[in-house]
Structure 1
Amino acid sequence: MTAHSLRNIHVNSPLFKVHLQDSDVEVVQERIYNFFVEIVRKHEPEDVLIEFKSLFIDCLCLANPDLIPGIYEVFLKNEQVLHNTFKRCCYILVNNWETNRKYKYIQALVELIASYKSSSIYQKYKIRTPSKNWLDNFIHSQDFQELKLFAYKNENQANSHWVNRYTSYLLAAQAIDKNNSEEQKQAAIKASKQLKDKFKFELAMYIARSQSHTSSHTRYRNPSVLGDDVLRLIKAIIVKKGVFSYSNIANIFIEQTQNQTFKDFKESLTKYLIFSVQQPTFVDTLQQQLSEKLVVWKLEYDDVIINKDLLLRTCNRVIDFLTTENGVSPSPLFVLLLSHGHPLTLVIVLLKIILICKYSRNHLESRLANLIRYYDQYSEAECQCFINFIEIFNITFAIYAENVEYNLIKIEDNEKIHEVEFDPNAYHVFSQLKFW
């Protein structure tokens, strides 16, 4: 079916030609949603884009500036409803094209919307009707900024703003935002996972090639900005194996605390998080401040036996203490711990939280998105401490991913009998992608 015949489906319908009462707006919305759900599944993306443009954009270019344009008449005096309708229609298309890997059309959709602002054909008439400003308002909104994440997530980000390297977290935050439509949440889940998987694959391939004398070092790029230091970092992260691995210690903690009261659990949690941490200053700071915060938190539950709900809520709350408590600016504890110069230690503490409560992962990534938005106002040079933290977080959680296994292989046999310090140069990292 051509774009022209598609337009006949709705343009000639009385539904879009008459002024409707406010009580009918929800009916109109559902018909619009169903229309786009149908055509995006059955027709070529080029035709769908033409249809989208016809419904929402072309009608804004009218010779009579006082006439309420097309579909906008339905939402007369209710800009927010139109805003939400327009946004959801975008994500109906994005979700479908994301699923079918038609990424270039997502970019085309974003550019189509942005072109309204810059194209003189839509601006040459004197605007008198407020609804003609509504699309401009959407383009200047946070919602449009979020939509653009889907369009440009796969582009080469070498010369772009440093925040763009961490799009997966911004998308993850969209996925759990209760104010977003299901289409946006699903699209965000897929896009975020795609970026994370891409990072894990590139990291594994880079490690394998960088340690091989026969492979080209230029074939796989380093996905981090840490340079060759990433190998030393990975070795430091995975050196703990056997009974003292982070996973085993987490399992022991879960088993030993399952019948504790909430009061005792809060105390045990603090001890667990600082267990085996090597930096005394970090340990003292974390223990003192975390204990002070937890001991007075949810006092009414202190005599309750710990359960899954309390575990999740507590882990989420500790994540807040360690990242951002208000969802806007860094928490005092986050700033203090990073100022000590041990970002890896802070990341390990966050990892230990997720190892005892995997369902806190979404909350953690949402908080990281909050921090990324906060530091977005600074240049890359001004927030190197935070960038190093995020890079180390990326690598640490890639190592503990379910579909990649990392191991150390000793390449020197002449180890000194009394050697106690770990020598990363004596080992190679072996990464293996697991498929099932």
Structure 2
Amino acid sequence: MATIVTDAPEKSIPAIKHLPIIGNLPEFRRDRLGLFLRVARECGDIGMLHFGPFPGILINSPELVHSVLVEHAYDFDKGEFQHNAFRPTLGNGLLISEGEYHRQQRKLIAPSFQPRNIIAYAAAMGAYGEQLQSEWADGAIVDIGHEMTRVTMSIVGKVLFDTDVFTEADELGAAMTTILEHINHTLSKLFPVPFSWPTPRNFRAKRAIAVLRSRIQQMIDERRTSSQERNDFLSILLNAQGEDGSHMTNEQIGDEALILFAAGHETTATALTWAWYVLATHPDIYEKMQLEIDTVLQGRTPTYSDLAQLPYTLQVFKETMRLYPPAYGFVRVALRDQKIVGYSISKGQTVIISPYTMHRNAAYFSDPETFDPERFVPENEKKLPRLAYMPFGAGPRICI
């Protein structure tokens, strides 16, 4: 008897309730993370919400995330909306570039982040940490978010550009904050004001861009006239050659430097700030981590080789980035009609991936709202499905 083989039936995508015309936009503006959690709670692994009249699909399973970010990575891009939000301020660097240009730029930049270079960067990280700590008086109250921005900005300046910007960190950090706030404001609007319009917000962003671009160009000019050989990020950019033998233009170098300045300090400062918060609110975890650090370091500045001897400390940071991932969500837009794990995705469809939501999926993390570093004991971490934990993204656009 013959067997007839048919395609599996197409899966339907459930949707949360939304208002006519404005959709779920008011809730998105008020509490976007709460909205994402509601979609996951009501719809499960995949669900639809609406930004005004425009539908978006939130995916919330490792299998679906792998399909979009890895298996079909080049069937999606960041979309015109994100391009228009990022490119006027941060240029066309690695964070926002697409296609073959993105692949070539990543290939040129990746050598800066090889393990041997990361090991060399550790000394600068320790030195700036000590410098910051020396400024704190016992019992003083400090703005920890501001302090983490200062130190990470200084570290990025030193390890990527071999430049000490510690005394400039406040000015550069303020400029970067202005730019990031402008981008977030643009992304929150259904019909954002064009960057070319003469509004106060646009003027503030343009002044901030001028501050950062000027400092980066100064570093590029100083490096071009220097005879000293260096192996930092900026030197690699200046010496990099494409497959056709061409070198990067000043504009390309400036774009990549600005992106690394932004992404390199802001996400790290955010993660460190949340780590301070969880330690302050969980004294038992703080004491256990402090004991491990005191036992291993005996009061000295840590080095890269010490990391292997600080497993609990690493667990604390991993659990911090589970509950409070700096990149809480990102968007991909389908370049063509396709299917992912049986669901039809139309060309132009917006797909949302939220590590913040995924990391609170009780199917992978029991009692997900509880801060518990024991989740990342090696034997427990091995049980996690691939991409159930993804603070750095995945696929060819994973954090470098």
Using the size of structure 1 for normalisation, the TM-score is: 0.29
Kindly indicate whether structure 1 or structure 2 has the higher relative contact order, using CA contacts under 8 Å at least 6 residues apart: 2
Using the size of structure 2 for normalisation, the TM-score is: 0.31
Please identify which structure carries the higher helix content.
1
**Could you say which structure has the larger radius of gyration?**
1
